[in-house]
Structure 1
Amino acid sequence: MPTTGQGPRTPRRETVRPEQRVTPRREKVRWPRQRQGSQAATGAVLLSDAGLAAYRTCHPRSSLAIGAALVCAGPVPDDALLRTVLERSAAAFPALGDPEATAGGMRYAAVDAADAAAGRWHRTLDAEAARPLPEAGWDCTVLTGLPHGRFALLWRGDHVLLDGGGAAAVLTTLCSPEDPDEAAAFSYAACRAPSRGGGAAAVRAVADLARASRAVTGPLLDRGGAADRLAAVRADAPPRLRHLFAHTRLDVLRRIGHRHGATVNDVYLAALAGALRAWAGEETADGLRAVRALCPVNIRRHREGVLRNRHLPGRVTLPVDLAAPGERLAAVAARTRGLARALRHPVVHGVFWGLPRFLGAWCMERYFRPDRSTLLASNVRGPAHPLRLAGAPVHEVLPLNFLPAGHPLSAVLVTLNGLVSVGFTADASVRGVADLPGLWLRELEALGTARVSGP
């Protein structure tokens, strides 16, 4: 069990878990508390933000905490230095609350020596990640006593306050508090407007708008029938979550994608499909033709701020029923081709900003319903340069995704300095989830030697 210590602690005021706040109908949804004048840094509250706030109210047993643990080469920096770094980074995002108060709330948790020796230190991570978020909507914990003399900084935020891209930007700013604008610049890079030109560009623009309309409305209108269920989970009790991780180099996915004419995200999803096929078993997997992954697409533009939620859902049917790795990758690439570009079309962006917030609750509930989507599979771009936390080199990142109500597992891929980390968040009651990271890596190896599908 984790113990606390190693550093002064500020007395903590008992808070109510955000997911447990009950908001009566027709009353204003309660948002994480923020200081006056922080609207520019926070960003306007849009349909997706309101939808997640309503989803949290409807599913108080499910946590909407997302974030990551930065595993750093030890020893643990001086406590005063860590708190200063946290205070300076928080000052870059006024909506996160008063910097001095948040830095004072940083806590420590020591990994059990036996767990560290046996390589089971993630038990402490699971325990800390299960803690209710404070009223501010985010928290920070320093995990000490990791193997090889390392330590980790666990940062979690309420998904109502920010999305995966925003969390990555906040963590990067935490490592570069002297220049927060430059540190967060990578989170906007994916949002380029489609090129403008002659007739071909106009035709493509129309096709993009049609594709975006189908992608967004498909899960809402029940197109394609019910989604397959990978495992049954209890809906009458809050899940006990496990977090599992796989690591590799980004160039491994890039080489596979280049060989097969696919993107890094295609390779990630195809490897996920192969891992789920092996996890379910060949006989069962042959009948899984509607494993639908909900894949958020970042549509954040420059000067919109890194907080709040700026993404649209894309639903991709994973070809779990196909036996050959190359065929699975070809199927994923065909199903995702042009999807991100379509969802980032300027007209789509304008419609997203103009939709009334009250539609968010209905949309989010239908997107995450287990009979419409099988699992959440996110892809978060991180910085391409190394990070240092209070002078300590960041060795790896352990991403934490949230688990929608009724789902057995979710996944998230994060890139950092040429490395890839895939995090699986799973209901601990589901059997065999510990095998998923190894199965994903094994499938990646199979894709590296798979025959290229096509004529």
Structure 2
Amino acid sequence: MARVDRVSSDDLMSLATDRGTVPMQVGAALILDTRAGCDPADLIAAIGRRVPAVPRLRQRLVRPGILFGRQVWVDDPRFKIEDHVAVVSRPTAGGMGGLLEIASELLSTRLPSDRPLWTALIVPELDDGRTGLVIVFHHVVADGIAGLAILSALADGNPKTPNPIFPHAAPSRTELAKDAALEALGVIRRLPQEIVRLGQALGQLGPSLRTHASRSSLNKPIKGRQRFTVVTCDLAAIQEVGHANRATVNDVVLSAITGALRHLLLQRGEDMNEFVISIPFSSRRAAGAGSLGNQTGAVPIRLPATGAPLDRLAAVATITRAEKLSTRGASAAILGPLFRALARVGLFQHFVDHQRVVQTFVTNVRGPATALTFGGFLVRDIVPLTVAAGNVTVSFAVLSYAGRLTITIVSDPKTCPDLPVLRAALSRELDAL
């Protein structure tokens, strides 16, 4: 019997919510040290040799039909590395700024649904002997932790897949029907656990759903292409501040973000003392190349934005410490069915364009502690990429890598024309801490 590899219920939420002008895609921009010279064709070939280590990168999604269960992943016999990795055809101006412009365009371009849901672009000759490599996945392929697993599997020094069979035969309709029946029985057996999980989700989300986030210019419907800017700092310094104040790296970042958002709104003539931030909590600590997809729930947390920096940090740490006692990722038990139902009746986009639950998103992923090499080149930096969606005009993606902490600020240019003000404020808040 062929293996039936179905999308999970959490993956279904990623598919159902991909309805707006901004596609549900995530990615990363890698900065490669290519001072010794780099032929882009050799880099494409190196990626092609590593792709078999991540089976999902050669699979596409297929809808088997209403009687045969959820979508399934099947090997794409037409897969060619040249269809997924290309070299930028125009010169890049401005180094990192130019790379982020290209990354924004790539992330905002919807991936073709008839092939594996990922793409990559090589950006040669950035400056100072560097080359950019932008990799983008549809969110159904990977969340933040799974995305790092893909990058690690593609990097040098990892085990290769010995003589992989490709393509595997797709499951027959009979096999799909049998698997769907077994899955239905499994749902019935798991019903008691799901009821418990639903109760945990209500406990997580209840307080936020009963109150609204204050109205502000941070909540306006956004359209189209995103804009990125980056703030970097020394990870050891952030860890030291956290350790001295019984706080985590994430607490330090959240405290700096609330202070920066308050400054941004003050510049706009708005005064806010707290912000509701949606923070993802993954139900897993790590992922492998054979276990991708999404296993994440989001929790809205109300955090203070006023007070002395260290006092605010202590308050943030106390709030997040209490939240961590709840079950990781439990909120997906409510959000998944709710979002899928809204999408089915055509109301999801209206809901997210007018929601008053959260004012921003912050996702923080712990990356490799030591530097990777990719195609024989040292990876100097990794910039996390995500999208702002709905009516959230500004969001943040945070990644630690090889002793550095990188915070990518994602904004909608039309509703957040003052992005440089926010970037400068965030840098000052981190320095103050």
TM-score (norm 1): 0.72
Correspondence for 2:120: 140
Counterpart residue number, 1:296 = 280
Cα separation, 1, equivalents of 2:156 and 2:205 = 36
Aligned pair in 2 of structure 1 residues 121, 359: CA closer, same or farther (>3 Å)? closer
User: C-alpha displacement at 1:126, in angstroms?
Assistant: 2.7
- 1:300 to partner: Cα distance: 1.8
Q: Which residue does the alignment assign to 1:336?
A: 320
Q: Is contact 1:88–1:99 with CA below 8 Å preserved after alignment?
A: no
Q: Distance in 1 between matches of 2:336 and 2:395?
A: 26
Q: Counterparts of 1:395 and 1:301 in 2: how far apart (Å)? A: 25
Aligned partners of 1:293 and 1:373 also within 8 Å: yes
Paired with 1:161 and 1:308, the residues of 2 have a C-alpha distance of: 5
How big is the shift at 1:84? Answer: 3.2
CA distance in 2, matches of 1:443, 1:149: 32
Amino acid at match of 1:69: A
Aligned with 2:16 (options 36, 51, 54): 54
Measure how far apart 1:337 and its partner are.
0.5
Structure 1 residue corresponding to 2:33, chosen from 68, 73, 81: 73
- Once residues 390 and 90 of structure 1 are traced to their aligned partners in structure 2, the CA distance between those partners, rounded to angstroms, is 12
Matches within 5 A, 1:173-184: 173-176=153-156, 178-179=158-159
Give the drift of 1:408: 0.5
Give the aligned partner of residue 278 of structure 1: 263
Contact 2:145 2:287 in 1 (8 A): no
Aligned residue in 2 for 1:214:
203
For residues 160 and 342 of structure 2, what CA distance do their matches in structure 1 show? 33
Question: Structure 1 CA distance, aligned partners of 2:407 and 2:77?
Answer: 31
Question: Residue deviations 1:38-96, cap 9 Å, x none?
Answer: 72xxxx53332212211113x2x122110110011114633443233322332122222
Tell me how far apart the structure 1 counterparts of residues 218 and 17 of structure 2 sit (CA, whole Å): 22
Runs of 4+ in structure 1 off by over 4 angstroms are 117-121, 208-213, 282-285, 301-305, 354-360, 362-369
**Cross-structure match for 2:391:** 406
Distance in 2 separating the partners of 1:427 and 1:317: 23
| Conserved 8 A contact 1:312-1:343 | no
Report how far residue 389 of structure 1 moved.
Answer: 1.0
Cα distance in 1 between the residues matched to 2:153 and 2:204: 33
1:426 paired with 2:424, answer no
Q: 2:296 aligns with which of 311, 314, 324?
A: 311
Name the residue aligned to 2:88.
Answer: 109
1:438 is displaced (CA, Å) by: 2.6
Check 1:268–1:128 CA distance in 2 against 1; reply closer, same or farther (3 A cut).
same
SS of the aligned residue for 1:342 comes to coil
Q: Against the structure 1 CA distance between its residues 145 and 413, is the aligned structure 2 distance closer, same or farther, given a 3 Å change threshold? A: same
Pairwise CA distance, 1:121? 4.5
1:87-102 → structure 2 map (5 Å cutoff): 87-97=48-58, 98=76, 101-102=79-80
Aligned residue for 2:106? 128
TM-score (norm 2): 0.75
Distance 1:37 1:116, change over 3 A: farther
Deviations 1:20-54 (A, max 9, x none): xxxxxxxxxxxxxxxx7472xxxx53332212211
Describe the superposition over 1:240-263 as per-residue Cα deviations: whole angstroms up to 9, x where unpaired. Answer: 310111111211111111121111
Give the number of equivalent residue pairs.
368
Query: Contact conserved, 1:77 with 1:390, CA < 8 A, in 2?
Result: no
Q: Secondary structure at the match of 2:23?
A: coil
Q: Secondary structure at the match of 1:275?
A: helix
What SS is found at the alignment partner of 1:116? coil
Q: Is the 8 A contact 1:233 1:427 kept in 2?
A: no
In structure 2, stretches of 5+ residues that fail to align are: 59-75, 162-196
**Structure 1 259/45 Cα, relative in aligned 2: closer, same or farther at 3 Å?**
same
Secondary structure of 2:284's aligned partner: coil
In the aligned structure 1, how far is the partner of 2:367 from the partner of 2:87?
Answer: 26
2:247 aligned partner: 262
Question: Is the 2:368–2:402 contact (alpha carbons within 8 Å) kept by the matching residues of 1?
Answer: yes
1:63 counterpart = 2:48? no
Q: CA deviation at 1:229?
A: 3.1
Structure 2 contact 202–334 (Cα < 8 Å) conserved = no
3-state DSSP of counterpart to 2:263? helix
Tell me the C-alpha RMSD between the 2 structures.
Answer: 3.2
Q: Give yes or no for the alignment of 1:385 onto 2:347.
A: no
Structure 1 stretches lacking a partner, 5+ long = 1-35, 182-207, 448-455
**1:406 maps to amino acid:** N
Structure-1 separation of matches of 2:247 and 2:34: 38
State the Cα deviation string for residues 154-200 of structure 1 (Å, max 9, x = none).
Answer: 0000112211111111112221363379xxxxxxxxxxxxxxxxxxx
- CA separation of 1:388 and 1:283: change in aligned 2, threshold 3 A: closer
Deviation of 1:327 after TM superposition, in Å, equals 2.5
